[in-house]
Structures are given as structure tokens and as C-alpha cells.
């Protein structure tokens, strides 16, 4: 079976979500450390343009976005499950909260005077359609502090009666999704103190950290591209008769996130479902690749010609 390769950098909160899932599932993986800011030439040779963190590679199949990566890891290693039957929908809905919590955590880190790597602010500004206005962000800080306090109190309340995980005795996708923004807060002394009043929340974070990261060894980006080049995508072509827009295998499409980091990936549709879309592309370095995305929060458009 082809190795699991994670393209990530260590301070990325979304990547921490996947590293903890790898630990939870006891999976071994290869770690490719990617640059924190663009350009990321080895990564984009594989994805066809998507530059966000993390990205999962299995041979010549590339999985973008943690929602899609979580499904791929579940398929590879179904137990322990990220989607316990009793809480499946609730766990996924809980995960939808992560982006708001992530943005609040990043803002708190920025406002705490923490030092970002060179070029970081300029690079991230390019990922928003209208850039970002630091003055406006600072103006919004008092209300964002209120919002974060409310969210932390909700999580604390959910856990304070002795539930080990957010929805009961078993961890689910929602636990990993809400853990990672708090990992960002915990990793800086100036923001870790925001978690101080929340003992049950901190104990829950400790339980997730106890899953570890799974066993991993390092790999270079160039070697990961060579692995893709030598492999053949395993995704079968499949028609989705329920596609609301009647898309079908062979259609040329572009796939792009609806709001943040809008770098479109173009290719030929291979398969799609309610939760997933896969497109085939050819890259001069990586060869034939199939790139996978989630459906929610992504825009699929026809490409003419």
C-alpha cells in the first residue's frame, strides 16, 4: 500500500488537526515540511495550484482540505472512527465552527505581539479577495475578545460534567476540528493564558494531545513529487447520477475555495459525490495526478475549451 505523505509545517493549526488524527488512528506517515509562505513549488506541482496547509498525498492521489483528508484517512483506517454512528452529523456540524475559532485564534496571536515569519502578513493578505486592513482588525479586537470568550465558555460547559470528549465517550471529527485553533492559542505564552480559566477544556486538550502524532519520518518535497510521478492514481472513474448540476466524468472543470486562498485547480472530472470531487490533471514534474476536494465551501465551474 502506498505511504501516507503529509505536506505541512509544524506551526500550522489545521495541520495539527490532521497530525492528531494520524495519532488517534495509529497511522505511520511521511512528513514533508513545506514553506510557510508562497511560493511552494513542490506542493503546487502536486495540487495544480492549491497552496494551503495541509495536503495529503497517497501515491498520485492528492487530497486538499482537512475535510477531504479526514475522509481519506477514515477510508484507509476505519477504526477508531472519526464518525461514530450516534454523533456522525453532530460531529461534522461541530467541525463547521472551526474556521471562526481559527480566525479568532490567529487574531489573538497577531495582537499579542507575537513575531510572524518574514513576509507572512503580506503573503496572507494575498489570500483574501480584498486583502486585509490591519487598522480595521485592531478596531474589531474588543468584540473579537468577547466572541472568543463566549466560545471558550461554551466548550468548557460542554465538558465540565466529566464527558471525556465533546460529544461523549468517543472522540469524533468535531474534537479534532475544535482542538486545533486552541492548540494555536496554547502554543504562545501570551495567548495560552486565555485558556487558564477553563480547566475542563484544558484537560480535554491534554486527552487529544495524548493521541500523539503517529510515527513519522521525514521526506523531501522533491522526493514526494518523484513518488507521485512513479505512481498511478487509484481513483476509479464514476458517474454521479445525483449531481445537481449534471456534471459528468470527462467534463473540464475548475475547483476553488469560496472565500479564502482562491487558487483554482483545473482538470478533468473523474468522480464526484455529495462530499467529494476528484479531477485529473497532468503536471510536467509530477505526471498524471488526481486531486480531491470536499464539496462544501468549494465552487466548481465549467472550463471552456
Site residues for ligand GSH per CB under 6 A: 12-14, 51-53, 65-67
CB of 67 or CB of 175, closer to ligand GSH: 67
Report, in Å, the least distance between residue 20 CB and ligand GSH.
13
Report, in Å, the least distance between residue 299 CB and ligand GSH.
13
Nearest one of 192, 173, 46 to 114, comparing CA atoms: 192
CB of 249 or CB of 261, closer to ligand GSH: 261
Length of the chain: 305
CB of 49 or CB of 287, closer to ligand GSH: 49
CA pair distance 170, 292, nearest whole angstrom:
28
Cβ(201)–Cβ(182) below 8 Å: yes
Owner of C-alpha cell 511560493: 39
Report, in Å, the least distance between residue 47 CB and ligand GSH.
11
Peptide bond into 267 cis (omega under 30): no
Report, in Å, the least distance between residue 96 CB and ligand GSH.
11
1 membership: H or E segment, kind and range: none
Q: What is the DSSP string of 63-97?
A: EESHHHHHHHHHHH--SS-SS-GGGHHHHHHHHTT
Owner of C-alpha cell 475549451: 305
Contacts of 133 (CB under 8 A, 6+ apart): none
CB of 144 or CB of 252, closer to ligand GSH: 144
Buried b (16+ CB within 10 A) or exposed e, 154-165: ebbebbeeeeeb
CB of 40 or CB of 198, closer to ligand GSH: 40
Whole-Å CA distances, 104 to 3, 182, 189 = 35, 10, 16
Nearest one of 61, 30, 44, 7 to 232, comparing CA atoms: 61
Report, in Å, the least distance between residue 53 CB and ligand GSH.
4
CB of 31 or CB of 53, closer to ligand GSH: 53
Report, in Å, the least distance between residue 13 CB and ligand GSH.
5
CB of 96 or CB of 303, closer to ligand GSH: 96
CB of 66 or CB of 87, closer to ligand GSH: 66
Report, in Å, the least distance between residue 181 CB and ligand GSH.
9
Cβ(285)–Cβ(222) below 8 Å: no
Report, in Å, the least distance between residue 78 CB and ligand GSH.
21
Amino acid at each position: 500500500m502506498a505511504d501516507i505523505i503529509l505536506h505541512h509545517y509544524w506551526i500550522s493549526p489545521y495541520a495539527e488537526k490532521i497530525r492528531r488524527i494520524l495519532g488517534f488512528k495509529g497511522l505511520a506517515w511521511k512528513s514533508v515540511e513545506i514553506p510557510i509562505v508562497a511560493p511552494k513549488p513542490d506542493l503546487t506541482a502536486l495540487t495544480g495550484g492549491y497552496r494551503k496547509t495541509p495536503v495529503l498525498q497517497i501515491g498520485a492521489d492528492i487530497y486538499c482540505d482537512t475535510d477531504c483528508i479526514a475522509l481519506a484517512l477514515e477510508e484507509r483506517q476505519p477504526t477508531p472512527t472519526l464518525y461514530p454512528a450516534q454523533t456522525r452529523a453532530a460531529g461534522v456540524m461541530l467541525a463547521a465552527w472551526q474556521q471562526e475559532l481559527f480566525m479568532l485564534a490567529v487574531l489573538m496571536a497577531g495582537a499579542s505581539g507575537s513575531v510572524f515569519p518574514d513576509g507572512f502578513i503580506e503573503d496572507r493578505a494575498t489570500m483574501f479577495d480584498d486583502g486585509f486592513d490591519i487598522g480595521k482588525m485592531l478596531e474589531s479586537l474588543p468584540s473579537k475578545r468577547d466572541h472568543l470568550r463566549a466560545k471558550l465558555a461554551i466548550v468548557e460547559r460542554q465538558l465540565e460534567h466529566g464527558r471525556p470528549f465533546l460529544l461523549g465517550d468517543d472522540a469524533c471529527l468535531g474534537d479534532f476540528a475544535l482542538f486545533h485553533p486552541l492548540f494555536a492559542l496554547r502554543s504562545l505564552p501570551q495567548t495560552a493564558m486565555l485558556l487558564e480559566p477553563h480547566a475542563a477544556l484544558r484537560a480535554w486538550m491534554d486527552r487529544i494531545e495524548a493521541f500523539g502524532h503517529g510515527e513519522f519520518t521525514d521526506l523531501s518535497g522533491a522526493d514526494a513529487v518523484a513518488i507521485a510521478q512513479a505512481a498511478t492514481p487509484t481513483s476509479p472513474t464514476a458517474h454521479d447520477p445525483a449531481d445537481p448540476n449534471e456534471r459528468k466524468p470527462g467534463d473540464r472543470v475548475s475547483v476553488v475555495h469560496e472565500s479564502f486562498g482562491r487558487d483554482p485547480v483545473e482538470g478533468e472530472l473523474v468522480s464526484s459525490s455529495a462530499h467529494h470531487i476528484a479531477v485529473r490533471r497532468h503536471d510536467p514534474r509530477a505526471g498524471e495526478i488526481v486531486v480531491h476536494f470536499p464539496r462544501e465551501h468549494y465552487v466548481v465551474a465549467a472550463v471552456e475549451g
